[in-house]
Amino acid sequence: MGTWALAGKALILVENLSVPFDRRVWQESLALHDAGWEVHVICPQGTKRDTEPYAELDGVKIHRYPLKTAVGGPLGFLREYGSALWHTYRLARKIGPVDVVHACNPPDLFFLVARRLKRRGARFVFDQHDLVPELYLSRFGRGEDLLYRVVCWLERRTYRTADVVIATNESYRDAALTRGGKRPEEVFVVRSAPAVERFRQVPPDESIRLGKPHLLSCATRCAVPTGTRCSSAAATRSTPWSRSPTSWVCPTASSSPAGSPTRTCCGTCPLRMSACRRIRSIRSMMCPP
């Protein structure tokens, strides 16, 4: 009853994947709708799915815009993000006043839209999917140059504008508390989880273990080329493969809106930085030096 009493109109902003293809954003949208909220989502159109400019699915109103995915260096991303920001602002004006604007990064630019909506009474929730400064360093290899400092400034402005920060894990929460300057009561960890009803148990395939007693599988989907360290590097950090009791299986897929290729560091599997950190942590626990 308390949740329904708080229900209002929510606007969710996302740039790097279409909805409902972005499962985390889709789950958040459905959770809000189930709690009685009127939910609008602004996102890019997909190339093979989610291609309609407008759709209403399970009560969630999805507004999509055309977006050409960046290719090349930072200049391409500036063009992509500039186009996305313009379309987002255009569609947000069409939707009108909202009670909550929920912005998912990357990029750390939606605070510009949120500031305008906050002047009309909205509250701003920053859903931090990635640490963009670290993403910039890993993707472009340019070091802490001028653009890196701009990226850091945009992150600080996003933190400052946000009334609440949603972090995907504890390390991201720490970033919001330290470099973001947020208070503990303003930052919440909300983890993503698969729908268990979509899984079915099958007979084990022992050949995947490659003769090792343990099997660790990391299924990841990279929305854009991250250029981060892959799981094989994480696997060998603490224990050489020849002495490791763990066999690794890493199915991956690129899912950028325009199907751009996912760049890897050694040709085996691309991982987001947060996934790499989790793998190293698991590796350290399972295979101490």
Question: Is pLDDT larger for residue 289 or for residue 181?
Answer: 181
Task: Examine residue 107 and say whether the peptide bond preceding it is cis (omega within 30 degrees of 0).
Answer: yes
Radius of gyration of the chain (CA): 20
- Quote the tokens at residue 5: 């009493």
Which string of DSSP letters, residue by residue, matches 153-222?
A: HHHHHHHHH-SEEEESSHHHHHHHHHTS---GGGEEE------GGG-------GGGGTT-SEEEE--EEE
Q: pLDDT at residue 229 above 90?
A: no
What is the three-class DSSP state of 4? helix
Task: Convert the pLDDT of each residue in 33-49 to its tens digit.
Answer: 999 999 999 999 998 89
- Quote the tokens at residue 57: 């699915």
CB neighbour list of residue 273: distance below 8 Å, 6 or more residues apart: 130, 131, 134, 135, 138, 226, 228
CA distance 31 to 192: 12
- Quote the tokens at residue 273: 């930085």
Identify the band that residue 283 occupies on the pLDDT scale cut at 50, 70 and 90: very low
- Quote the tokens at residue 254: 């690129």
% of the chain with per-residue pLDDT over 70: 73
Q: Read off the pLDDT of each residue in 22-29 and give the average, rounded to a whole number.
A: 94
Identify the band that residue 222 occupies on the pLDDT scale cut at 50, 70 and 90: low
- What integer pLDDT is reported at residue 217 of this predicted model? 72
144-150 — which CB contacts under 8 Å span 24+ positions? Answer: 147/74
- What integer pLDDT is reported at residue 234 of this predicted model? 54
**Rounded to the nearest 10 degrees, how much is the dihedral formed by the CA atoms of 75, 81, 86, 89?**
-160
> Please, what are the domains in the chain?
7-189 (3.40.50.2000), 201-286 (no CATH)
- What integer pLDDT is reported at residue 72 of this predicted model? 74
CB 267, CB 248: distance < 8 Å: no
CA distance 201 to 226: 32
Measured distance between the N- and C-terminal CA atoms of the chain, rounded to whole angstroms: 52
- What integer pLDDT is reported at residue 270 of this predicted model? 38
- Count CA atoms closer than 13 A to 5's CA, side-chain side: 2
182-190 — which CB contacts under 8 Å span 24+ positions? Answer: 186/162, 188/164, 190/28, 190/127, 190/166
pTM of this prediction exceeds 0.85 = no
Q: pLDDT at residue 266 above 90?
A: no
